[in-house]
Every structure is written in structure tokens, then in C-alpha cells.
Amino acid sequence: MTQFFLEYQSLYSIGPQAVAQLQTADYKEDINMPQAVAQLEETERSNLQQRVAQLPWGHNILLIQKVKNLKERLWYMRQTIENGWSRNILDLQIKHNAYERAARAITNFERTLPSAQSDLARQALKDPYIFDFLTLDTEFREKELENALLLQLEKFLLELGSGFAFVGRQYHLDIGDDDFYIDLLFYHLKLRSYMVIELKRGKFLPEYAGKMNFYLNAVDALLRHSNDNPTIGLILCQDKNRVVAEYALRGMNKPIGISEYELTRTLPESLKSALPTIEEIEAELKMEVVDRE
């Protein structure tokens, strides 16, 4: 409760009289410190006050303890309210740096979508996507990745974000008497548009954008309703060269985003140096075997 008071006293115009009985030196020092909340613009202060009141106590304390940047905290508050995140899910999203990954995909949305739709679509994508709930061999095939994601559909949808409704996998399109199959087809309830997701192992190649543009034309012609917005494509690959990806999208007339995905979280450099390498572990095991013999 003291943490909450110290964080938001200016937000609610709470005076120090309410806790005047507390005499610790640490508390007195904190009371006199300038508050970040007081530096917010009026609109942001109003939004913060409203969202603090909407969130459960445990969510508020978690955010106070783990998210110090107030603009970032406001983002997590909004996402929690919109998506109904439990405290455990909120904690997981913070650990996965969801704020930093939001709206970072390479896209051509500004050129291919109306401005309002473009902003919403950009916010709906991340980069990278974290699929650390999967267990795949390093030499996995794209079909194995697709199967694994669908076996963990609930976690996959959570990572994709709010609004994604699953339509089908290997979705069949009959075009000019030829058969084509979309890896994953979704409908986004907020964007009011179909979303085509193609899964690629390895690095991004320019020809992926051309194939996606073809799929989007087909879905718009065969599936899109008159009230739907233009279909959006998302190419997920393990690695991308940003310059190559941007060049690949320049000539495309359909909205396409390109993001990476990770099967495991990358360790910070400070921890990498503190952990033994595989070679060092193997050498240590060999020495133990020799000592026993």
C-alpha cells in the first residue's frame, strides 16, 4: 500500500497526512522525491487514473514493481483491460517484452491501407514473435512448425495478440484449375479483415513477398465480403535482412508485414559470458569419467 501511495499520490492529490504516522527515513526521502506521474500530460494522467481504477490490486502492484516507464505501463494497462489478461499472463507479457516488440514489423501498410486502418494493422503485428512454448529439433521442417503451433493453439493465439480468430490451416484455394494452400488463415475481429500467415524456416527471401501478394489477391477475390477491409499478409521467418525486406515490399500493392520468430529467448550478453559453453560442459564430463576410471 505504501508503494501504491508513493507512486500515485499526485494522481489522486493524496496528501502526506494520510500516512503521517510513518516515521522511517526512507519514507520521508521518497515523499520529497519528484514523481514521474506528476510530469505526465493531462490526457495521460487522466488515462492513467482511469486504468488504475479498472485494474485489480495485484495487477497494479505488479506493474508498479516491474514497469517503471509510465508510457510503457500505460500500454500494458490498456492491453490488460482490452484482452482480459490475468496477473500471470500480464507477468509473462512483461517478461517477453511485449511492449518493445509491438508495431515493429516491417510493413508497407502506410502505402496500401487507409491511414486509420494502417495504424491499427501496424499495432496488431509484433517483431519478433516468441514461440518458446514449442519443442522442435533444430532441423525442423515448416510443416512441423505449423503442426506444433496448432497443437498449442491457445498459446499461439495469445502470442499473436487480441482479435485473431482461427479460420484454417493449409487453406485450399482453387485458382485457374490449380490448387494452392495457405499455411494459416485467420480473421482479425478488430481490423475486420482476413489475415494470411506464411511460415518460413530460415531467412527471408524476396520471392516470399511475391507469393504472399498472390495469396492476398486470391483471398480478396474469393473470400472477402463487401464489408471486409483488405486482406493482410504476415510472413514469419527466422531471420530477415531489413533492407532486403523493405525492397521486397516496395512494388507490392497488397498490405504485407514481415516479422521474425524465435523458438527460444536469447540470453543477454552479460549472462552468456557467465555460463559455460557446450564444449566446456563436455570437457568437464569427460574429466569426471576419467577420474572415476
Cα–Cα distance, 231 to 109 (Å, whole number) = 11
Among residues 186, 155, 154, the alpha carbon closest in space to that of 169 is found at: 186
Distance, C-alpha 52 to centroid of its chain: 23
Cα–Cα distance, 226 to 224 (Å, whole number) = 7
Q: Which amino acid is at 247?
A: Y
Give the pairing of strands 232-237 and 193-199. Answer: parallel
DSSP state of 229: P
Distance, C-alpha 213 to centroid of its chain: 24
Q: What is the pLDDT along the chain (293 residues), one digit of tens a residue?
A: 888 888 887 766 554 544 444 444 443 434 333 356 655 666 777 788 888 999 999 999 999 999 998 889 999 999 899 888 899 999 989 998 888 988 899 999 999 999 889 999 999 999 999 999 998 887 889 999 999 999 999 999 999 998 999 999 999 999 999 999 999 999 999 999 999 999 999 999 999 999 999 999 999 999 999 999 999 999 999 999 999 999 999 989 999 999 999 987 544 444 445 555 555 666 666 665 555 65
**In DSSP terms, which residues pair with 174 in a beta bridge?**
179
Helix axes 87-95 and 70-83, enclosed angle (nearest 10): 130
- What global pTM score does this model have? 0.75
- The angle subtended at Cα 62 by Cα 71 and Cα 2, nearest 5°, is 95
